[in-house]
Amino acid sequence: MDDAGPILVDWTAFARARQELGAGFVRILGYFREDGVKSVAAIEAAMRAKDAAALVRPAHTLKGEAQQFGADPLAEIAEEIEMVARRCVELRTSPDELIPQVVRLRPLFEQTLELFDRETNPLVERRSGFGRRPQSFGRATG
């Protein structure tokens, strides 16, 4: 669906979640947004504090919720943060190696939300050809 880069959402998984959650879908997607904002902020704060233990829970939460809605790249980066943070806790080392992943996390989360909004809000313009002016054919050439 995203021609400009990697696919950020598995729309089949998203549709399955929508069907399984039924009337609660929009509410639960709203929880994903709220929890995700909190999780990303907590991950960033923990990274600034170099607190590996504080990275684990918000990364785990974000991973699970992203998987539920088919946001696989977001889930993967959150899982990587979680796993490396757990290892850092066990080894009592700094989580500095996670800086690149944490830097990519917020933009990826925001792009994912934008796609979810586009898919769930009928008032948001979609990227299909519907409603566009037809190209004119048969132009006279000199």
Integer Cα distance of 132 and 123 in angstroms: 16
Write the DSSP assignment of 2-32 as a string of letters: -TTSS----HHHHHHHHHHHGGGHHHHHHHH
* Structural domain includes residue 95: yes
- State the amino acid at position 81 in one-letter form: I
Q: Which pLDDT score, from 0 to 100, does residue 37 have? A: 98
Count: domains in the chain = 1
* Structural domain includes residue 129: no
* Structural domain includes residue 139: no
Q: Which pLDDT score, from 0 to 100, does residue 136 have? A: 42
* Structural domain includes residue 141: no
- pLDDT band at 4; cut points 50, 70, 90: low
Domain extent for 73: 11-119
Q: What residue ranges in the chain does DSSP mark as E strands?
A: none
* Structural domain includes residue 38: yes
Q: 93-109: buried (b, 16+ CB within 10 Å) or exposed (e) per residue?
A: eebeebeebbeebeebb
* Structural domain includes residue 136: no
* Structural domain includes residue 5: no
CATH of the domain at 83: 1.20.120
Its pTM surpasses 0.85: no
* Structural domain includes residue 42: yes
Q: Which pLDDT score, from 0 to 100, does residue 66 have? A: 97
